[in-house]
Structures are given as structure tokens and as C-alpha cells.
Structure 1
Amino acid sequence: MKPHFKAASLGLAASLVMAGAAADVGKDERLKLVLEPHERHLVLLEMRNFLHVLQTMTDSLTREDMKTLAEAARSMGSGAANEIPPETVAKLPDTFKMFAGTVHTTFDTIALDAESLGDPRHTLKQMGTLMQTCNACHGIYQVSTEPFPPLKRGGLTSGKTTAAKPVR
């Protein structure tokens, strides 16, 4: 899929998601990505890293420091895509993985264009497109942890106490 078509498709998805979200602000109907707590931490850490890098890039743009901007963008490019363990990635839906891949390759493109073109307005437009991808994904998914299984009350419901039996 060509980058411009992919970006347009993701932008359309973001618009549709945001329109739906505005219609019913009382209910969160996003799809849940259910992960173990340590997996959720890694996925959310990567997202926080995206935000940190975007802040660095925005600050760099205000100073037209395209070298620092390119370095920051490159730090979250394709080279950073393999920081989530394969067993966690296997639990994620294909669409989520597509969004993540698009984000990483967009950071790569921004880094290359910042170095070769040095045009802050062009970079700002690319960052806007990148944020559309982030918004689309966040509008579709929420990351949660594996719920605990229901407690087996046994004798507790009848007023008796029973010793817990170890699970083997």
C-alpha cells in the first residue's frame, strides 16, 4: 500500500472514529486489547516514548533545529519497532500492528525528510498526519490487563470458612 493512500485511509478511519466518539461520550466502546500487566506496561511505555519524541520534535521545530528533530524522529523509527516481545505482539490484532508499523515508518520518513529537505512546514504537516494515525488507533483500542478470575467462595457464602487449596 502506498504511503499516501495508507495515510489517507488512516485519516478517514480517525475521522469516523472521532465522529462516533463525539456521539456518545458516556460509553467507552473501544476494543479492549487484553494483556498481562507487564505487557500492558511495555505497550503504554512505547506510547509514552512516542509522546516524548513528539514533544522533542515540536520543540526542535520552534527553533528550526532540523538535526535534533531528525535524531528524535529516528529514535522511534523502524529500529524501535522490535522492542515489544514477539509473544506480546502475537496477541495484538493486525489492525493495531498496522497502525504501529505506520507510526514507526512515519518517524523514519520524517527523519529522512528533515535531513534532506530541512523544511519545518513540511515536517509539521508530516507530524499532523502522524498524530491522525495515533488518534485513529486510540479511538479504536484501549489497552487493559487480564482480569482476575472470579473468586471461588465455597464455604464463605454459607458462613463457613474453608482453607484455600493450592492450585496444581
Structure 2
Amino acid sequence: MGSRSRTLCLATMGLWVMTLAVAGWFFVTGWTTKGADGRTEILLAPVERDQILAEMRQLLKAVDGVVRSLGEEQPNLQQAEAAARAAGMQMAVDTSPAIMAKLPLSFKQMGLSIHKDMDALADAIVKKETPQQILQRLSSMTARCTTCHDLYQFGAGK
């Protein structure tokens, strides 16, 4: 291999390593900036922001559905299970890869853990856990929701 080929090979490998490093950096940090109120601002296009906020509303509706069902004199466990299952991992698969790339790793981890826990909550309802046990599960989940809202906000990106 000639000197020129070796230099080209090293330059190509260097660019490849730098590309992987930059991609890894964005996978962890997402597309973010420091917000005016101290929270991390996630920069999303308006349509992306709307999609994430719609998903959050669906999660809140699922929690409401479970709580309402449990609050009935005769709890409707099928409705509670359906409400929880609707916000499980199946809901998460619809998020576009372009949006996922812009979200910081800890945001992605919290979001996915909530979806997994919604499936586990639905399973717990089927197994007839007590309303108190189900509410304890919900309490753990909503604590992560409030932590996420304390850490992040959405800003205007491109």
C-alpha cells in the first residue's frame, strides 16, 4: 500500500470515528439547549412538539382512565386494563426515529420506562392486584412524569 493510499485510509477512518462520536453525542444529549428557567429545552419542529405533547396527553388520559375505573363503586377492571394497555409499549413504537434522535437519552429512558410500566400495570390489573397496589404503581409512574416535566421543556427547533 502506497503512502497516498495509507493517508487516504487513515483520513477515512478518522472521519468515520468522528461521525460515530458526533452521532453518539447527539444520541445522548439530543437536540437541546439551556432553557430560560433552568430546565433543558428540547428543540423540536412544531409538528414534532405536537406529536410528543399528544403522546403525553394520551398517557395522562390512560392514568385518568385507570383512576376513574378504580374509583367506581364496582371497579371496571376491563376498562382499567384497556386504559393502561393503550399507553403501553405499543404506543411508543409510533414515535418517529427523527424525533427520537432529537430527544436526550434520559428523556427517552423515562418515556420508555413509563410505557413499559403501563403494560406492567395492565398485567397487574388482570392479576387482580388491590386498588392500593395499583395506585402505588401509578404513584411511582407519575413521580417520573413530574421529574421529567421539572427537567425538560420544549422549544422551537427546525
Residues 1:51 and 2:79 are matched in the alignment: no
* Alignment partners' CA distance in 2, 1:46 and 1:61: 23
Which residue of structure 2 lines up, in the alignment, with residue 23 of structure 1?
none
* Alignment partners' CA distance in 2, 1:59 and 1:121: 14
Which of 116, 125, 131 matches 1:105?
Answer: 116
Q: Deviations along 1:13-37, whole A, 9 cap, x unmatched?
A: xxxxxxxxxxxxxx61100000001
Where structure 1 has 5 or more consecutive residues not aligned to the other structure, the ranges are: 1-26, 148-168
Query: 1:65 is matched by which residue type in structure 2?
Result: N
Aligned residue for 1:110, secondary structure, equals helix
Where structure 2 has 5 or more consecutive residues not aligned to the other structure, the ranges are: 1-35
Residues 1:135 and 2:154 are matched in the alignment: no
Runs of at least 4 residues off by over 2 Å:
none
Deviating more after overlay: 132-141 vs 60-69: 60-69
Query: 1:139 is matched by which residue type in structure 2?
Result: D
Identity of aligned residues (%): 29
Name the one with the larger helix percent: 2
Higher relative contact order (CA 8 A, sep 6+): 1
Q: TM-score, normalised by structure 1?
A: 0.69
* Alignment partners' CA distance in 2, 1:95 and 1:139: 13
Between the two proteins, the alignment pairs up a number of residues equal to 121
Which residue of structure 2 lines up, in the alignment, with residue 96 of structure 1?
107
Please state how far the C-alpha of 1:108 moved relative to its aligned partner.
Answer: 0.6
Aligned residue for 1:90, secondary structure, equals helix
Deviating more after overlay: 32-41 vs 58-67: 58-67
